[in-house]
């Protein structure tokens, strides 16, 4: 089992079907990164919640975890909730190193994909 993880993080919803695109992303990242264990966690309403996923990683022997927030902007979750959750779990499991990436929306490829989507959302006249 790889000791390096990529943990995808989505917001969460009370509607199960809301998570379907994130499970597709999970499968694609797993296929692209067989050198890492890749899992999906949520901030609220769905499981596993972020703290539980971090603890599971630490308890399974993960030493290096790369947290990829699948969020468009760096709002309150990235500035407060996520660092607090990470800090709390790292205090419990000091051997775990967690690297939090920028919000997905800060990545040029995501911005480009959104622009393509928005441009294609209305028929050309």
Residue 4 has pLDDT above 80, yes or no: yes
- CATH classification code of 4-120: 3.40.50.1400
* Domain limits, the chain: 4-120
Contact between 39 and 29 under an 8 Å Cβ cutoff? The reply is: no
In whole angstroms, give the CA distance from residue 62 to residue 51.
14
pTM exceeds 0.95, yes or no: no
For residue range 44-61, what is the model confidence (pLDDT) as tens digits?
A: 999 999 999 999 999 999
In order of 11, 27, 35, the CA distances from 32 in angstroms are 23, 9, 9
- Mean residue pLDDT of the chain comes to 95
CB 92 within 8 A of CB 84: no
């Amino acid at each position: 089992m790889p000791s390096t993880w990529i943990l995808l993080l989505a917001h969460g919803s009370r509607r199960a079907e809301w998570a379907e695109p994130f499970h597709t992303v999970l499968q694609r990242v797993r296929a692209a990164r067989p050198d890492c264990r890749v899992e999906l966690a949520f901030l609220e309403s769905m499981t596993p919640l972020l703290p539980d996923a971090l603890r599971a990683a630490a308890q399974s022997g993960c030493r290096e975890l790369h947290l990829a927030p699948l969020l468009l902007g760096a709002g309150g979750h990235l500035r407060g909730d996520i660092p607090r959750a990470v800090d709390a779990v790292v205090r419990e499991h000091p051997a775990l190193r967690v690297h939090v990436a920028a919000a997905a929306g800060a990545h040029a490829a995501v911005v480009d994909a959104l622009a393509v989507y928005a441009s294609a959302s209305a028929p050309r006249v």
